[in-house]
Structure formats: C-alpha cells, structure tokens
C-alpha cells in the first residue's frame, strides 16, 4: 500500500519554496494558530503580508464560517511571526496529514515555537463562560493520528515524546504574566474529539471523568506534529460554553464564535505582553 505521506517532504518543500519566493527573506521565528472567533488577533500584526491558503501549493483550503483562511507574515511586538488565520479541522473531511501540513510548513520556514488557540467547551465545574484556559496537557481521542504511516526521520522521530507537549517554561511565563496583568487564567487539560457535533451530556460527563477540563475539535493533531518537529508549544483555550451537570444547556456554533470574539480580546492582551518577553 502506498501512503500519501511518502512524498510529504517533497510537497512540504514545494510549499516552503513558493512561500519564500513571496516573503522576501522574512524568517518567522514564531508560529501562531488562531482558532474559531480569534482571527481578529491578527490585527496586531505589524505590516502584515497575507497569503491566502489557496495560493499556496499543496495547502488545503478552509471551509468553515468564521475561519478566514490566510497565512499571515509580520511582526508582533517586534518578533517575526507566521500566523494561521483559520485552521483545518479533521471534521471538515481533511486527512490528518492535511490538518497538520501547515504546522510542518511553518517549522520549515523557521518557526521554533508554536502558539495555538482554540474555542473549547468547559467541563470543569469551576469554569465560567468566557474564561481563558492555559493548556497544561492534552488527551488525544481523535480517531486518527497525524503521525500514522511511514516516518520521515528528517522531519522527526518515529516515537516522539509528549512529556512536555505544552512547554513548562512557556506555561510558567504565561502564568506569571497573567498574574502581573490581573488577567484571570485557568489551567487545564484539553481533550480532543473529532466532532463536528457537540457532545451529549453523557459525553461531557465522560470527558470530565477521563481527566480533562475542556473539550474541543482541534489543536491536538497540530500539537502532536509540532512536537514531532521539535517545536516548543504554548496553548490557550477560550471557554465558550460550560457543561453544567445539573442543567445541561445546548450550545451553537454561533454562541461559540460570539463568546470567542469577546473573550479573545483578553487573550490578545496576554499574548501581546507574553510575546514581549520572548527572545527575538
Ligand atoms: N465541544 C466541542 N468543541 C467545542 C465546544 C464544545 O462544547 N465548545 C467550543 N468548541
């Protein structure tokens, strides 16, 4: 059987070449993925250059409302960034290799650190709608692993460690800055399901019992691949809805985007302060 990943490296380098021919020597040291309703965080980019996904060879194209679909290049607090304004979800029908392809491209362009954000449902009873959660760790319950198939050792090891998937030093920085800025910051475990339906009450309960604080439909594949490529990762969830055992309420995608847009402003503040503390 021929796996599509056999020529992954060639396709990655094709994308990298095409991008590099448009960014005039710009080398991003940081990558940022903006989740549902968080695309506006890209407004802080200085002199951004936008490349629509469809103009990048081998890139998948985004389909979900609320996801802009651009790769942006520019500086945030003086640091060179590449920003994904909108991500690819497994539930949209993409293969895991496609979902995570842009992460590999961003690493090959020079990004050593990845900052990820998402909208998530809270299952920790101490959480409130609109809370910001620093991701301490994750539980991967997606039905497919992005590293399945032949491994290209020039991209990363066959059996990558996930013991520090969300870098402890970066998390400590985020925590202390949030405290200094008086930004309430929860911390917890993110569990990924494939979606696209939201969870039944029994499923939210299961997520909690399994040891998670929040549940969502993204991020974990990208973080696995970022770790495979040797990147340091920092992750945040905007808690757009909270499962209440005593009174389960429905959630809609519109609610998720609305809360995310609002709470995302606070995340923007924290990110800006944080980025100023990072090496150039
Ligand atoms: N479940 C899964 N994904 C989500 C949720 C949720 O409750 N809220 C935002 N993204």
Expressed in angstroms and rounded, the spacing between residue 279 Cα and the centre of ligand 1 is 33
Q: Could you tell me how far CA 98 lies from the centroid of its own chain?
A: 14
How confident is the model over 107-151, as pLDDT tens digits? 999 999 999 999 999 999 999 999 999 999 999 999 999 999 999
For the chain, the three-class secondary structure string (H helix, E strand, C coil) is CCCHHHHHHHHHHHHHHHHHCCCCCCCCCEEEEECCCCHHHHHHCEEEEEEEHHHCCCCCCCCCCCCCCEEEEEEECCEEEEEEECCCCHHHCCCHHHHHHHHHHHHHCCCCEEEEEEEEEECCCCCCCCCEEEEEEEEECCCCCCCCCCCCCCCCCCCCCCCCCCCHHHHHHHHHHHHHCCCCCEEEEEEECCCCCCCCHHHHHHHHHCCCCEEECCCHHHHHHHHHCCCEEEEEEEEEEECCCCCCCCCCHHHHHHHHHHHHHHHHHHHHHHHHHCCC
Banded pLDDT at 218 (limits 50, 70, 90): very high
Does the beta carbon of 217 lie inside 6 Å of ligand 1?
yes
- Atom of ligand 1 at shortest distance to CA of 251? 7
User: pTM of the full predicted structure?
Assistant: 0.93
Active site residues per annotation: 36, 67, 89, 91-92, 119, 217-218, 241, 253
What residue owns the CA closest to ligand 1's atom 2?
216
The least confident of 30-34, 234-238, 250-254 is 250-254
Banded pLDDT at 190 (limits 50, 70, 90): very high
What residue owns the CA closest to ligand 1's atom 9?
120
* Mean pLDDT within 87-96: 92
How confident is the model over 68-86, as pLDDT tens digits? 588 999 999 899 999 998 8
Tokens representing residue 109 in the block: 């362009």
Res 134: pLDDT: 98
Expressed in angstroms and rounded, the spacing between residue 119 Cα and the centre of ligand 1 is 7
Res 165: pLDDT: 98
- Atom of ligand 1 at shortest distance to CA of 260? 9
Mean pLDDT for the chain overall: 91
- Atom of ligand 1 at shortest distance to CA of 122? 7
Q: Is the confidence at residue 236, as pLDDT, over 90?
A: yes
Res 38: pLDDT: 74
Q: Is the confidence at residue 6, as pLDDT, over 70?
A: no
- List, in order of start, the domains of the chain with CATH numbers: 5-276 (3.40.50.1580)
* Mean pLDDT within 58-62: 81
């Amino acid at each position: 059987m021929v796996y599509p990943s056999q020529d992954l490296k060639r396709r990655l380098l094709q994308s990298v070449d095409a991008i590099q021919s448009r960014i005039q020597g710009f080398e991003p040291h940081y990558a940022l993925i903006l989740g549902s309703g968080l695309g506006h965080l890209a407004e802080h980019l200085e002199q951004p250059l936008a490349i629509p996904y469809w103009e990048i060879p081998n890139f998948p194209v985004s389909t979900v409302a609320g996801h802009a679909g651009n790769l942006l290049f520019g500086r945030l607090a003086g640091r060179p960034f590449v920003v994904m304004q909108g991500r690819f979800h497994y539930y949209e029908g993409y293969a895991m290799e496609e979902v995570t392809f842009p992460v590999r491209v961003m690493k090959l362009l020079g990004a050593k650190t990845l900052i990820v954000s998402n909208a998530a449902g809270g299952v920790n009873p101490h959480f409130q709608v609109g809370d910001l959660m620093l991701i301490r760790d994750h539980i991967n319950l997606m039905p497919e692993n992005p590293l399945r198939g032949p491994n290209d050792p020039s991209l990363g090891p066959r059996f990558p460690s996930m013991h520090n998937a969300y870098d402890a030093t970066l998390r400590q920085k985020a925590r202390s800055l949030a405290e200094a800025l008086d930004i309430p910051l929860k911390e917890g475990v993110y569990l990924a399901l494939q979606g696209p339906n939201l969870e039944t009450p029994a499923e939210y309960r299961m997520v909690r019992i399994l040891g998670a604080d929040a549940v969502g439909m993204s991020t974990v594949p990208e973080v696995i691949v970022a770790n495979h490529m040797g990147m340091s990762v920092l992750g945040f969830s905007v808690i757009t809805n909270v499962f209440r055992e005593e009174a389960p309420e429905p959630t809609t995608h519109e609610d998720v985007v609305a809360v995310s847009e609002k709470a995302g402003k606070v995340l923007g503040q924290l990110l800006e302060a944080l980025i100023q503390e990072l090496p150039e």
